[in-house]
Structure 1
Amino acid sequence: MNIEEFLSEDFIWLNEPVKSQLDVFEKVFTKCQDKGFVSGEFLEKIKEREKVFPTGLQLDGYGVAIPHTDPECVNKQFVAVFTPEEEVMFKRMDDSNAEVNVKIIFVLGLNQPHSQLAMLQELMVLLQDKEAVENLRNTTDKKQMIQYLSDLSKQKQR
């Protein structure tokens, strides 16, 4: 699976001024719903799922999050990439009582169960590379973000 097939400049936010994960979810939902990619219940479902199954990950010196929700809320598959201007707090996947400040967020809008698992696995491989994550975090151009993620994905698949 190559992440590139799920990426679009429409669903990439770089250095975006937001205060919370709710701000992130609302921005992604609004754009995705306007484009017909998600149903009206996507926002509530992703918020509910994040409360029950947090998606924040504390990796080597940085935090990331990979929120996702039920496949029935997704009309067309996508991966949104969000780099907030200031870090955003998420609860940790491995300890829901702990928090992690997140620098990069991948919102998965996938409606095939195997796609969701495969994409999570691919992202976990990519996110182990601290230098790659820092490069993603500092990218200021949407086309460059797509190219960089695509190149990383192809390198890691070798």
Structure 2
Amino acid sequence: MYFDREIILFNQSATDRGNALKLLADEFLKRKLVTNKFLDGILERERNYPTGLNVNGLGIAIPHTDSDKVIVSQLGFLSLAKPVEFREMGSNVGKVDVSMIFMLCLKNANDQLEMLQKLVALFQNEHLVSQLQTCDSVENFIEVMKQAGIK
């Protein structure tokens, strides 16, 4: 359900955080899953509430925005060829070199907390995170998400 539109991009090149977020947000826009205010909402929220996480030495970000910019719920995934710097979640000064981004595009605001909890549980599973790091096919990625209880 959350990955049925297959917004899953591997080994992408981005010059910085904004460029990486735009790459992924543009995929949502192309598929008409979001309004044209979606990227602006993602960037603004990222400025005010950073989403970079250091998970056992691996940088992961979970950007999202308000549900009024969403038409159809979906999640997106982007892995980067070279990490880009994000600000650390819950910190105004910490930095994280992010190599994986899970972008939340959820119509129901209440679904955001539940999805964030599922993603954090996934990030705590070293085996699944290791699989994500080497994943290079949509089929393998979907299988990892199913194992994590995220469909």
Q: State the TM-score bracket (shorter-chain normalisation).
A: over 0.9
Tell me, yes or no, if the aligned pair for 2:49 and 2:90 is still in contact at 8 Å.
Answer: no
Structure 2 CA distance, aligned partners of 1:112 and 1:130? 29
Tell me, yes or no, if the aligned pair for 1:89 and 1:99 is still in contact at 8 Å.
Answer: yes
Structure 2 CA distance, aligned partners of 1:85 and 1:9? 23
Q: Secondary structure at the match of 2:110?
A: helix
Aligned to 2:24: 28
Name the count of aligned residue pairs.
Answer: 150
Aligned to 2:46: 50
Length-normalised TM-score, structure 2:
0.93
Length-normalised TM-score, structure 1:
0.89
Q: Classify 1:110/1:9 alpha carbon distance in 2 versus 1 (closer, same or farther; 3 Å).
A: closer
Structure 1 CA distance, aligned partners of 2:137 and 2:77? 12
Residue segments in structure 1 that go unaligned for 5+ positions in a row: none
Is residue 75 of structure 2 the alignment partner of residue 64 of structure 1? Answer: no
Aligned to 1:144: 140
Runs (4+) off by over 6 Å = none
Tell me, yes or no, if the aligned pair for 2:84 and 2:99 is still in contact at 8 Å.
Answer: yes
Tell me, yes or no, if the aligned pair for 1:54 and 1:91 is still in contact at 8 Å.
Answer: yes
State the percentage of identical aligned residues.
28
Range with greater deviation from structure 2 (127-136 or 100-109): 127-136
Q: Going by fraction, where is helix more abundant, 1 or 2?
A: 1
RMSD after superposition: 1.3
